[in-house]
Amino acid sequence: MALEKQFKLEAAEKPKASQPSSQRRQKFITAIDKQLAGMPDGDASTIKSTWVWKSDQGDWFISPRYGKAPLELAPGLNAIKCTDAKDVAENLQKLKTLASEGKLDDVLEGAASAIRSRFGK
């Protein structure tokens, strides 16, 4: 049995070192997937997520984190306001898409730098 008929074979090697931005991006996407796993099916008033909470006024908020620190998405702003649980799931998916496209690399780099700076003390 010839393997060439069973698979599409290539002469390729795995890179020896990956880019730090790629590693941060993948770590953040994994964290988003974990938050999405805590989302209920349908509309519910409770969500099992460490990033999501509901205010006394009924608004939902997402505070995305890198490690234990909240991400500063814009200067002085670290939460995303949502209308309901469905909107929370949609915004988490948007975050995942932006991260996979590399559009959050600067934000993730800033958070990673802040975390690293605390280790030198």
User: Is pLDDT at 121 greater than 60 in this prediction?
Assistant: no
Per residue in 20-36, pLDDT tens? 888 999 999 999 999 99
CB atoms within 10 A of CB 10: 6
- pLDDT tens per residue, range 48-97: 788 999 889 989 999 999 988 899 999 999 999 999 888 999 999 999 99
pTM for this model (two decimals): 0.79
Q: Which residues pair with 62 in a beta bridge?
A: 52, 80
CA dist 92 and 71 (Å) reads 14
- Residue of 29, 32, 72, 26 lying closest to 49 (CA atoms): 32
